[in-house]
Structure 1
Amino acid sequence: MKTVFVTVGTTSFDELIESVTSQETTQVLSALGYKKLVLQVGRGAVLPGSDSCAGLQVNAFRFKDSIAEDIRDADLVISHAGAGSCLEALGARRPLLVVVNDRLMDNHQLELAKQLHSESHLLYCTCSTLTQTLRTMDLSVLAPFLPGQPQNFSRFLDQAVGLHTE
């Protein structure tokens, strides 16, 4: 069964959960052949029920010890732009669409998404552009993220937050 896994990590990002479960977005997901939507909602107030999205089987949970199996079983991962969630999805070689929380100020999320997008590892958008991004995305353009090079990622993060100026 073609599955989308959505994760907000340990944070609260209700806007993402509301956007991905909106009627317009679920219609696009169904049109793309997805049948199952698995939602990890974290500390958020929104916890959709199993019958909340017409045409999609929905499974929502807050936390579990590991989401590795959910990521591995997904045909598409939609994630907040947290570094840990991005690395976990990319390390599992799953197609990744990152949704940047544009309501957060002075954070590394947009810079991280732009950098990994420029290297063709992921696609990114905001909640307001999620549906359109899903409509027009081409997952075949994504390049695998090569594991085993954590120094490259840490170097980027150091530069993004101003700790390293090389």
Structure 2
Amino acid sequence: MKTVFLTVGTTSFDELIESVTRSEAAQALKARGYERLVLQVGRGSLLPAADSCPHIQLEAFRFKDSIAEDIRQADLVISHAGAGSCLEALGAGKPLLVVVNDKLMDNHQLELARQLHADSHLLYCTCSTLTETLSTMDLSVLQPFQPGQTKSFANFLDKALGLK
């Protein structure tokens, strides 16, 4: 069963939960072959019921000790633009659609999404363009994310500090 996993991390992003569970967005997911939507809603005030999204099987929860298994099982991850959530999904090799909260001031999330999009690691949109993005997105353009080279960085530091 093709699954979408959506996470808002530990924050609150009710607008994203509302947007993805609207009939139009659910229909766009269904048209792409997705049959199941799993929502991690964080601290938000919304916790949609399983029957609140008639076009797709819906599950929702607030928090778990780890969402790694949800990400692993997903065919598509939709995430808020928090760095931790983005890196966890990209590190798992999953196609990622980031939804930027354009209501935040001094929006570092937009900077992160733009940079990772420029490198072809993810797609991004806002809540107001989510349904259109779900309908038109081309996941085949995404490139795998290469995790940081910690050994190279450690060697650089050793040389810089005169330890090697």
Structure of larger gyration radius: 2
Any runs of at least 4 consecutive aligned residues in structure 1 with deviations exceeding 2 A, and if so which? 148-151
Q: Which residue of 2 aligns with 1:87?
A: 87
TM-score normalised to the size of structure 1?
0.89
Q: Which runs of 5+ in 1 are unaligned?
A: 152-166
**For residues 5-24 of structure 1, what are the structure 2 equivalents within 5 Å?**
5-24=5-24
Q: Which residue of 2 aligns with 1:70?
A: 70
**For residues 78-157 of structure 1, what are the structure 2 equivalents within 5 Å?**
78-149=78-149
Among the aligned pairs, what percent are the same residue?
Answer: 79
Question: C-alpha deviations, 1:8-58, integer Å up to 9, x for none?
Answer: 000000000000000110011111110000000000001001111112111
User: SS of the counterpart of 2:79?
Assistant: strand
Structure-2 separation of matches of 1:69 and 1:26: 23
Contact 2:23–2:55 under 8 Å retained in 1: no
Q: Structure 1 residues 150 and 61, CA, compared in 2 at 3 Å: closer, same or farther?
A: farther
Structure-2 separation of matches of 1:75 and 1:92: 11
The alignment status of 1:4 with 2:4, answered yes or no, reads yes
RMSD: 1.1
Q: Which residue of 2 aligns with 1:59?
A: 59
Number of residue-to-residue matches in the alignment? 151
Q: Which residue of 2 aligns with 1:33?
A: 33
Structure-2 separation of matches of 1:81 and 1:51: 27
